Amino acid sequence: MNAQHTSSRTTTSRTTSSTAGSTAAHRVVILGAGYAGMAAAVQLAARTKGRQDVQVTLVNGSDRFTERLRLHMTATGQEVAELSIPEMLDGTGAQLVRGWVTAVDAETRTVRIDDDRVLPYDTLVYGLGSVADTTRVPGADDHAYGLSGAQDAELLADRLGQLRGGTVVVVGTGLTGVESAAEIAEQRPDLDVVLVGRTEPGATMNAKAGTYLRGALDRLRVTVRSGADVVKVQPDAVELAGGERIAADVVLWTGGARVSPLAAAAGLEVDDRGRVVTDAALRSVSHPDVWAVGDAAAIRQGYGVMHGTCQGGMPTGVHAALSIDRLLRGKEPRPFRFGYYHTPVSLGRADAVVQFTHPDDSPRRISLTGRTAMRYKETVTASPWPTYGRMKKVPASGAFWPTGGRFTRKATR
């Protein structure tokens, strides 16, 4: 599957002469129905609806859309809405192919699904996202639970449901770790929750917001062990650098992220984390017929390379769709620009903190806390699905996001 590729290849409509005067549909295949891939599929299908010369196909392992922003709720046994991808695509002309992508061949322009199906493409949108990185620490892959998808969250919920007291160790003091620790502590007060990580929770926030976040964890009786490095996960404990051992009935791993190795295996140019390196329009710098979106892409902006979040992922999907549509209509794509604007963090069902940010994701002085922040956070969490619905009816409604103006501040990440 490793293929050398010449940069002269461009993304244009494919024509055949199998029958006189006939034109084959340009096949756009989108891999992954996460926040970014779903946005790309809905936006492009809506813009090309009714055209016989464009075929949009979305490939995903499930026909259920996973709200990653609610996985910590699923993990604690709370019911969340069932969101159907086929229902969202209904009426757009886009097709859903259910299956797991096992290989991409950039030379023959094909995608292998479940090892027994081959799907050809003319334009590929690569949006396979990321998962928690359990490969760097011995035992994490074998003994720790994750929150990379709905199945992971349901497995964790089953395990937590079996416990009658005990200790849950959450590894990773980033936003996923904080939200998960708070949710477990609130829903299961009979459990001792320990949050372990190298950095202090809320370290990227301003002083007020960070203090509030840590106070909320304290009120929920979450034990925080910052400045700690987990070096091994055992069946009943985690081991820290220096030899200390923290007993655990359950370990939840949220530290770090890794992307699928399929892009690198296909010969696409990737960065040191395996993300597809893109040009200003989100097109692969090595394979112009491939576009990368969301966590799977190394997208450089004025402040540096974007990091994976829902607020950035959806705009990348929409922009890729806009760019492909422009090319199919004989126009050049425009550069992508994005600036961060907030960091909302839930602290259970009735509390939250929202840190408003500069375009480079550094904290502003403004923040929200308490119930006001919780209502804001819930609005953000619930917004993707109705946004897709609006794009389905009015494509232009999804083509707005903050660009941040001139990026004059130094990057903080």
DSSP codes, 188-218: -TTEEEEEEESS-TTTTS-HHHHHHHHHHHH
Q: What is the mean pLDDT of residues 302-324?
A: 93
CA nearest to 178, candidates 346, 386, 399: 346
Predicted TM-score of the model (pTM): 0.91
Angle (CA) 306-321-29 rounded to 5° is 100
Predicted pLDDT of residue 16: 36
Query: Which residue type is seen at 284?
Result: S
C-alpha neighbours within 13 Å on the C-beta side of residue 209: 24
The whole-number pLDDT of residue 412 equals: 29
pLDDT tens column, 234-278: 999 999 999 999 999 999 999 888 999 999 999 999 999 999 999
Identify residue 71 by its one-letter amino acid code. L
Give residues with Cβ within 8 angstroms of 273, minimum separation 6.
258, 259, 298
| Residue 147 to residue 7: CA distance in whole angstroms | 38
Q: How far apart are CA 11 and CA 212, in angstroms?
A: 50
Q: Domains in the chain, ordered, with CATH?
A: 26-129+260-339+384-398 (3.50.50.60), 134-200+224-253 (3.50.50.60)
Give the H or E element holding residue 179.
helix 175-187
- pLDDT tens for residues 203-242? 999 999 999 999 999 999 999 999 999 999 999 999 999 9
What is d(CA 149, CA 132) in angstroms, rounded to the nearest whole number?
Answer: 10
